[in-house]
Structure 1
Amino acid sequence: MTETANARKIAFATFVRRALAEARATRAWSGTEVARRTGVSRQTINRWVRGDWASDPAAERVASFCEGLGLDPAAAFAALGWDRKTSPRDAPTPPPMDPDVEALLRRLVDPEVSDAEKFHIRETIRYLAYRPTLPTNVRKRGDAAG
């Protein structure tokens, strides 16, 4: 293994360890809960922590891990030595933001809002973002004709 590849593994393993430590300390999440919330298996996360991987992790998995923990994937990409920058003209135009989501984002950055309230907002958003969805063909009781 080259020195550069080893340094990248160490940098990424350090990033993952810190992310896990923060999730445990601030949210009391177990390894199983981190895996559930991020969509990345415990086995994969453990390999990342040990630097035990032959080829680079999939960018989608790294992004999913970061987003599940509320982290910017750019930090993980930087630890891996990846250049994931795009020019402004290459970046897609984001869709318009829902006014309710904008209001929540404003509250999250408002210094007058307590940390406890911000924690509650984030946990509610995470719950909604990662809860299982029902198939579209499932109807509520009483919706059936008859």
Structure 2
Amino acid sequence: MRVYAEKRILNLRPHTYRRPGGFRRRDTSRPRDNRPANGTYGCVVADLDPAVALARWAEFVNRALRSVRPALSDRKIYELSGISTSTLSRWRNAKGTQLPEIDRVKVFCRVVGASLTEAMAVLGMTDDDPQATPEAPLPPDVQIILRKLADPSTPEADRDFIRQSLEMLADRARSVGKTKPASQAH
């Protein structure tokens, strides 16, 4: 009976109750990332693939570090900015899954003397894009079909069949957007 009562008391405690041992549950109301809760940075965020943004950021960091390298070591940058050497290494090698936090980008640019505007453009956080965004890679099955069409050893009958199939799929995709839902047909 006592165990039941203890469980009941724990369930009735206010939400500020801390679990024994100091462990807290993570807030799962939104995913972990470096974006603010309202989803904006106060500037326009382009639809940029995170892998592309990380690669661009790595190039930017390497270029900025090359320009200050004789005077500033990773350790000295850590002392001036508070950005750890492991973070600098992760940025240089485009490791990780998240873009750097805005505050860290600002501090890094200030310490190494790099342009904050260019850094924001590299991360896709402004309207002007310094480089054209590469298209997403094609799925493997589509790549196989394109190779078959380009291969001169593929029989002409197979190429015609593939072309007709693609035309049929394209027509179907075009017509799907034009049809009315069944509820609006009357």
Q: Normalising by structure 2, what TM-score? A: 0.40
Q: Secondary structure at the match of 2:49?
A: helix
Paired residue type of 1:45: L
- Cα distance, 1:13 vs. partner? 0.1
Alignment-derived partner of residue 140 in structure 1: none
Percentage identity across aligned positions? 30
Alignment-derived partner of residue 90 in structure 2: 47
Residues 1:4 and 2:21 are matched in the alignment: no
State which structure, 1 or 2, has the greater radius of gyration over its C-alpha atoms. Answer: 2
- Cα distance, 1:39 vs. partner? 2.3
Distance 2:81 2:64 in 1: 12
Determine which of 15, 20, 35 is the counterpart of 2:78: 35
Alignment-derived partner of residue 151 in structure 2: none
* 1:13–1:51 CA contact under 8 A, matched in 2: yes
Matches within 5 A, 1:18-97: 18-25=63-70, 28-83=71-126
Inter-CA distance 84–73: structure 2 relative to 1 (3 Å threshold)? farther
Paired residue type of 1:14: E
Distance 1:14 1:38 in 2: 20
- Cα distance, 1:38 vs. partner? 2.4
RMSD after superposition:
2.1
5+ residue gaps, structure 1, are 86-146
* 1:38–1:66 CA contact under 8 A, matched in 2: no
Q: Normalising by structure 1, what TM-score? A: 0.50
Higher mean C-alpha deviation, range 15-24 or range 31-40: 31-40
Q: Secondary structure at the match of 1:82?
A: coil
* 1:16–1:49 CA contact under 8 A, matched in 2: yes
Distance 2:78 2:55 in 1: 21
> Cα deviation per residue 1:53-96 (whole Å; 9 max; x = unaligned)?
212211000110001112221111111111289xxxxxxxxxxx
5+ residue gaps, structure 2, are 1-47, 129-186
* 2:53–2:99 CA contact under 8 A, matched in 1: no
